[in-house]
Amino acid sequence: MKISLKKSNSHWIEIENVKLLIDYPTMDQQDELDELFSQAMSPALIKTEEIKRLNPGTSDEELEKALYPFIDFNSFKKYQRNFIRYTVKGWEGLDEECKIENNMLDKEQWELLVRDNEQLQVLYNKIKPELDWNNSDKKK
């Protein structure tokens, strides 16, 4: 393993003619996100061990399908909503100017942005892979 600094990953992405400035959450925000993710996935992770023990040859795809009903989707949605609030740092192409307070989206704007579940999924599915730590980040 190579030790490196996880510097800012601030950059613009475009989703349906709206540009979003995104960046990593702060350490405190990441701790909160980790806790929410853990709450959402904990029941499924517990079930993982049981499924692997009872069915040792289970493929990753089969395991994912078997675990789906055990995910706490209310906690996962809360995780996704907060992830958006903590990672969107600006935008272009929306009616209002983006407001950032304490390194996160203004509460009212954030609620309007993630209120629609379909829009939440589109935002999350586009932003999350952009900020995941991977081997190419080591070169930055």
* Domain ranges across the chain: 12-134
pTM of structure: 0.82
Residue 31, pLDDT score: 97
| Per-residue pLDDT tens digits for 87-106 | 999 999 999 999 999 999 99
On the question of pLDDT at 111 being above 60, the answer is yes
Higher-confidence residue: 44 or 78? 78
Percent of residues, the chain, with pLDDT higher than 70: 89
Q: Which amino acid is at 106?
A: D
